[in-house]
Structure 1
Amino acid sequence: MNKLFRIFIVLLVIAIAAWGFSYSYIWYFKYTKKDRDLTNLTAAQLANLPEKERNKIKEMKKLRSRIINLGLDLQGGLYMVLQPDYEELKKRRGGQELSQADVKDAMRRVMEILRNRIDKFGVSEPSITTQGEDRIVIELPGSKDPDRAKNIVMGRGLLEFKLVDEDTTAKLRRDMFDEDGNLIDKSVIPKTSELRYYWEKNKYGILEKKRAIVLYKKTLLDGSYIKRAQVQTDQFGKPEVVFSLSSEGAKKFAEITGSNVGKMLAIVLDGKILSMPVIRERISGGNVRITGNFTMNEAKDLALILRAGAFPVPLEIVEERTVGPTLGEDSIKSGIKAAIIGSILVLGFMLLYYKLSGFIADIAVILNMFILLGILAWLNFTLTLSGIAGMILTVGMAVDANVIIFERIKEELRSGKTIAASIQAGYDKAFRTILDANMTTLIATFVLSQFGSGPIKGFAVTLSIGIVINMFTSIFVTRLLYDIGIDLFKVKKLSI
């Protein structure tokens, strides 16, 4: 292949990598963390900003889609593994066995609702993936309030309107309950009714059971009729959630309130009674208010959950892990420190042992890392600690390829061949060995990326891309550098 054409290919690859990496450089070094956090604002929050600021954030969002993102272990956040409770869904259907289609449909709807909730919550680069057939992995890197994020993810959003069984409720006495607040003799509750609890915040702002209330089991109206939900403030400036019902829901609500004037109507969310207003008159128009001792964030979260809809099946937390931002910063520092020390030791060894040829290998290794970062940026890759480990291993494998080549060249020189012939023979004979070694590693990384998840997948993807680049830099680039050096300096003795 013509030397000029080979130089053109190398420069083209470097230019593409530099172009890709430039977006990450601008994102992490030009913009401050405060600027970057603005891209997580919701549409409602953006609407209150000046147009100039909105345009800046719009450009930053475009930029964010082309950078190397930092994973959960590098910037902190929330990691959860959820599992649908299909037994509960089966009970709701009267014990009827669920078909494979039912399970798939439930999982699809759960994933859709989760994405709607998390997208509106405002977290940069959230990850929602399935693990196997019945598990959902959620990663929310950079989440500053893990408890709030967890409430949004786990809130079922099941809103129900039920009438209060006032006669049975009036008969309840304190001595009917044990120390934990559980009813001792459940036979006092009629078959058509059920025991629920009215929840209120204590002085620490934590929801707790206040009193037992008996409700009729029949659900008069549920959240499926909600068309729109938003936060407003009442006359005293306290947040409240106002939602509009669809035309069918508004008609049903008018019938319910019209036929139950003077009775108490419980508004139940995920099994907790939030309020029990007395129906004073028939309510038409389909606008309903939920009042309570909400903070503004709690009211916004409730409106978000109601808009996204209720889960078709309850979810259980199988695994939960919260990584603090300080721990994430320490991980970044430790990872970068390990990468730098490892690279210096490897590059230094090559330089000392193989002299000028080692310097050529070092250029190839540095170029390998630069191209790798550029490609990861183009892929909008999320870098984790395991990904950094894959990059460090790539450095080792890049050097390993050059060691094989250099030892082959030494053998050819000892046999009495010229420098050019030794280099030619060294690369030709080493190529098969390097290819075989890299192909076996690629097969292993492919299996890991297909069947692994989370950190394992990140490691496999980073390493596999690094191996492909390694084939280019350790064979193509170093050979080109040798050819240029021999032609320019008329080398009579090879420094190797």
Structure 2
Amino acid sequence: MKKLLLIIFLFLATVYISLPNEFKGYTKPQYKFKVPDLLFGLDISGGSRLVFEADTTKILEGGKKEALSGLKSVMERRVNLFGVSEPNVQLSNFAGRDRVVVELSGIKEMDKAISVIGTTAQLQFVEIVGEGETAEIKETDLTGADLSNASLVFDQNNGQPAVAIEFTSDGAKKFEDLTGRNVGKALPILLDGVPISSPNVSEKIIGGKAQITGSFTVEEAKNLVTELNAGALPIPVKLVEQEIVGPTLGAESINKSVVAGLVGVGGVFVFMLLMYRGLGLVANFGLLIFALITISLYKVFGIVLTLPGIAGFLLSVGMAVDSNILIFERFREEKGQRNIKDALEISFGKAWDSIRDANIATLVASFILANPLDLNFLNTSGPVRGFAITLALGVLISLFTGIVISRNLLRIFVKEKRV
């Protein structure tokens, strides 16, 4: 009974999370936590497209490819820190000019996106050499590249927003040496060549921690934290194009795709009922919980749904059904030789090896398609990665629902008798 109550609780919780927050005038009640809405990709909901031009004039030809690759990586990190899942960041060349194309699905705060993604964020610590009119600014080897973390804090003296920074082990040693030789002097901090703070050094600072103060608003401090954590752009860039992108699929195409998916899933439900009757009913309830858990995780973790991603989800439904069929066919063979309860346990045990191997093979294929290690020879595109991620997630959830949900439901409702 306790397991049944847990399954019912899981069902109700995922129903609540999966329901849209607003639908045709209805607003879902929110409790202590707010469930985010489903996020959709550019092909479904549209979004924004930004094109930045990279200034590679000071880069040697041999290091150009590596510098552009680093630029793309930093921009991807910034987009992720900005709160956009599955961004599409691509390098291109137009009329001999190197460009970075950034596509953001569902983003409305264009000005903020441009500021966060395209700001160079070159942080420098400089020292003042000499005094009076002969004083000069001297660059040091301590830069934003030596940071390990940045976070928003509030100054204890005046309550103003500030940025707390922590250095890497090498950066901490550089910072210790720099403050040690500048005790009693100002230590200017520059961001993209502009002074943002000039604190006086009272003593050598050991431990690799410091705080940047200035005339920041909370929003400016947050943006600076995002930029510093993502890393400085290795190449200066400027925005050359900005546009709102409509969905590549028309409303009619989207509706037809949804209807096709529902018809396919409905057909699976009917097939399971006709072939396996009571067992099919339990399997269908397990599939329903599978779908609810999947949608809930999409919403909670902010996974962006594209059309290839939806295809990956539907394919994982088919794999979940396949697991149930393997178990049920084995159950048909076993129930004639022993009582139903024992037949059920044996059928799960004997079918598990096939289910495990099939799902591992799918997970390996998904891993290769997703290319999380960014291996150059795979050259995976955004849509393919979206398909792989949703397929892998669906496979893992189907294993959970098949082995935990469906198995325990069958244990509860199967009567102990010989057939």
TM range (shorter): 0.5 to 0.7
Which of 384, 396, 409 aligns to 2:306? It is 384
**Does residue 350 of structure 1 match 2:320?**
no
Which of 344, 364, 381 aligns to 1:423? It is 344
Q: How far apart, in 1, do the equivalents of 2:253 and 2:22 lie?
A: 20
Who is 2:209 aligned against?
none
**Does residue 20 of structure 1 match 2:17?**
yes
Q: How far apart, in 1, do the equivalents of 2:259 and 2:300 lie?
A: 25
Q: Are the structure 2 counterparts of residues 492 and 132 from structure 1 closer, same or farther at C-alpha, using a change threshold of 3 Å?
A: farther
Q: Are the structure 2 counterparts of residues 417 and 99 from structure 1 closer, same or farther at C-alpha, using a change threshold of 3 Å?
A: same
* 8 Å contact kept, 1:405–1:426: yes
Q: Are the structure 2 counterparts of residues 380 and 28 from structure 1 closer, same or farther at C-alpha, using a change threshold of 3 Å?
A: farther
Q: Name the amino acid aligned to 1:429.
A: K
Q: Are the structure 2 counterparts of residues 358 and 108 from structure 1 closer, same or farther at C-alpha, using a change threshold of 3 Å?
A: closer
Q: Are the structure 2 counterparts of residues 379 and 339 from structure 1 closer, same or farther at C-alpha, using a change threshold of 3 Å?
A: same
* 8 Å contact kept, 2:42–2:306: yes
Who is 1:456 aligned against?
384
* 8 Å contact kept, 1:361–1:478: yes
Q: Are the structure 2 counterparts of residues 68 and 327 from structure 1 closer, same or farther at C-alpha, using a change threshold of 3 Å?
A: same
**Does residue 436 of structure 1 match 2:357?**
yes
Who is 2:281 aligned against?
359
- Per-residue deviation at 1:483? 2.2
Q: Name the amino acid aligned to 2:360.
A: M
Who is 1:395 aligned against?
317
Who is 2:3 aligned against?
6
Q: Name the amino acid aligned to 2:45.
A: Q
Q: How far apart, in 1, do the equivalents of 2:75 and 2:69 lie?
A: 10
* 8 Å contact kept, 1:16–1:374: no
> Deviations 1:438-479 (Å, cap 9, x if unpaired)?
112112212222253421222122111211111122222222
Q: How far apart, in 2, do the equivalents of 1:151 and 1:481 lie?
A: 52
Who is 2:37 aligned against?
67
Q: Name the amino acid aligned to 1:484.
A: I
- Report 1:112-131 matches (<5 A): 125=84, 128=87
Larger Rg: 1
SS at match of 2:103: strand
> Deviations 1:343-364 (Å, cap 9, x if unpaired)?
0111111111222212221111
**What TM-score do you get using the length of structure 2 for normalisation?**
0.57
- Report 1:27-426 matches (<5 A): 27=22, 63=34, 66-78=36-48, 84=54, 86=56, 88-90=57-59, 98=63, 125=84, 128=87, 136=100, 138-142=102-106, 312-313=235-236, 324-325=246-247, 327-414=249-336, 416-426=337-347
- Per-residue deviation at 1:325? 4.3
Q: How far apart, in 1, do the equivalents of 2:409 and 2:119 lie?
A: 62
- Per-residue deviation at 1:84? 3.8
How many residues are matched?
303
- Per-residue deviation at 1:334? 2.6
SS at match of 1:139: strand
Q: How far apart, in 1, do the equivalents of 2:400 and 2:275 lie?
A: 23
Q: Are the structure 2 counterparts of residues 144 and 478 from structure 1 closer, same or farther at C-alpha, using a change threshold of 3 Å?
A: closer
- Per-residue deviation at 1:31? 7.2
Who is 1:478 aligned against?
406
> Deviations 1:123-142 (Å, cap 9, x if unpaired)?
x9586565699985522334
Q: Are the structure 2 counterparts of residues 63 and 328 from structure 1 closer, same or farther at C-alpha, using a change threshold of 3 Å?
A: farther
Q: Are the structure 2 counterparts of residues 105 and 430 from structure 1 closer, same or farther at C-alpha, using a change threshold of 3 Å?
A: closer
* 8 Å contact kept, 1:83–1:316: yes
Q: Name the amino acid aligned to 2:252.
A: D
Q: Are the structure 2 counterparts of residues 83 and 366 from structure 1 closer, same or farther at C-alpha, using a change threshold of 3 Å?
A: farther
* 8 Å contact kept, 1:386–1:456: yes
Name whichever of 423-432 and 397-406 sits farther off. 423-432
**Does residue 446 of structure 1 match 2:416?**
no
Who is 1:171 aligned against?
none
**What TM-score do you get using the length of structure 1 for normalisation?**
0.49
Q: How far apart, in 2, do the equivalents of 1:150 and 1:80 lie?
A: 9
Q: How far apart, in 2, do the equivalents of 1:421 and 1:126 lie?
A: 46
- Per-residue deviation at 1:388? 0.9
* 8 Å contact kept, 1:73–1:323: no
SS at match of 1:348: helix
Q: How far apart, in 1, do the equivalents of 2:365 and 2:295 lie?
A: 22
More helix by share: 1
> Deviations 1:27-85 (Å, cap 9, x if unpaired)?
455579xxxxxxxxxxxxxxxxxxxxxxxxxx9xx957x23211111112345686746
Q: Are the structure 2 counterparts of residues 30 and 446 from structure 1 closer, same or farther at C-alpha, using a change threshold of 3 Å?
A: farther
- Per-residue deviation at 1:89? 3.5
